[in-house]
Structure 1
Amino acid sequence: MNQQKTYGGGCACGAVRFRAIGSPMRVGMCHCMTCRQVHGSAFSSYAIFDRSAVTLTGDTREWRSSEQGRRHFCPLCGSVAFMMYADRDEIALPLGAFDETGLFEPTYELWCKHKEPWLPRGVRPEYDEERAH
């Protein structure tokens, strides 16, 4: 029997939890202004899984952060729990929301036109804006 690894995580207070099975489709960093403001950091990092590989528990609030983007956050602690797109069957889980560290390493960076000048350049492929999926 082929057993795939399971990864758990959730919001800061634990009211929202996720379980992801198998490997992510891709892992990336985003420097867009929305990610910067939502996370209160210079960038965000997400592991993107097929929607069918992720189980969610707990109630979230949804914010339409772009034409297709839907960010879900915990109404109790405000943590970003996950992000989905209306036009894709995938879910983006913040790397900082996983229970363990060091699970996934980003392989690309998006919206680098907003990247802080003090961050290193050329570590992984960089895109000025979005990349083709």
Structure 2
Amino acid sequence: MNVQKDDGHAATVHEGGCACGAFRFRASGEPTRVGMCHCMTCRQVHGSAFGAYAIYARGDVMMSGSLSTWRSSEDGRRHFCPTCGSVAYMEFTTRDEVDLPIGAFDETGLFEPDYELWCKHREPWLPQGARPEYDEERQH
């Protein structure tokens, strides 16, 4: 979807939310990066082999609805819907960004990951070499 910005140019907007619809987000423009994470926390939170996120500047994302928050690390915060349990987004207190799960967007095929993190925990049956890989965290 495109919306008109104050400067007269159109900005791409992508919407999404949790499984039950109680939480919604609206992301304007393009993400700063898109990545896959194989860390044990992402694996457990998503109940999958990895988490995949579109990372946006905080000011480019509008949200509505009530969420619960879990402090998953010293500076990591994961927000989820208290009704359906869906992962809504994650953030780090040290960055002015919002990490939106790719699977939470209303459309499919929007983003392809640029890199993979925590590959030391990647399932061996997943393909390797498709994008830059980091054993742990990448340098920002």
Q: TM-score range by the shorter chain?
A: over 0.9
Unaligned stretches of 5+ residues in structure 1? none
Corresponding residue of 2:11: 4
Corresponding residue of 1:31: 38
Structure 2 counterpart of 1:60, from 55, 67, 71:
67
User: Kindly, what percent of the aligned residue pairs are identical?
Assistant: 70
Following the alignment from structure 2 to structure 1, what is the Cα–Cα distance between the partners of residues 10 and 86? 31
TM-score of the aligned structures, taking structure 1 as reference length: 0.99
Structure 2 counterpart of 1:84, from 74, 84, 91:
91
Are residues 1:113 and 2:126 paired?
no
TM-score of the aligned structures, taking structure 2 as reference length: 0.94
Following the alignment from structure 1 to structure 2, what is the Cα–Cα distance between the partners of residues 4 and 102? 18
Alpha-carbon offset, residue 78 of structure 1 = 0.3
1:1-48: CA deviation from partner (whole Å, max 9, x where unpaired): 211100000000000000000000000000000000000000010000
Are residues 1:97 and 2:104 paired?
yes
SS at match of 1:62: strand
1:53-93: CA deviation from partner (whole Å, max 9, x where unpaired): 00000000000001111000000000000001111100000
1:106 is matched by which residue type in structure 2?
A: P
Following the alignment from structure 1 to structure 2, what is the Cα–Cα distance between the partners of residues 111 and 84? 17
Following the alignment from structure 1 to structure 2, what is the Cα–Cα distance between the partners of residues 29 and 58? 26
Are residues 1:43 and 2:38 paired?
no
Following the alignment from structure 2 to structure 1, what is the Cα–Cα distance between the partners of residues 92 and 63? 16
Following the alignment from structure 1 to structure 2, what is the Cα–Cα distance between the partners of residues 21 and 7? 7
Aligned residues: 133
Moved over 3 A (4+): none
Q: Which has the larger radius of gyration?
A: 2
Following the alignment from structure 1 to structure 2, what is the Cα–Cα distance between the partners of residues 40 and 48? 20
Alpha-carbon offset, residue 129 of structure 1 = 0.2
SS at match of 1:41: coil
Alpha-carbon offset, residue 95 of structure 1 = 0.2
1:132 is matched by which residue type in structure 2?
A: Q
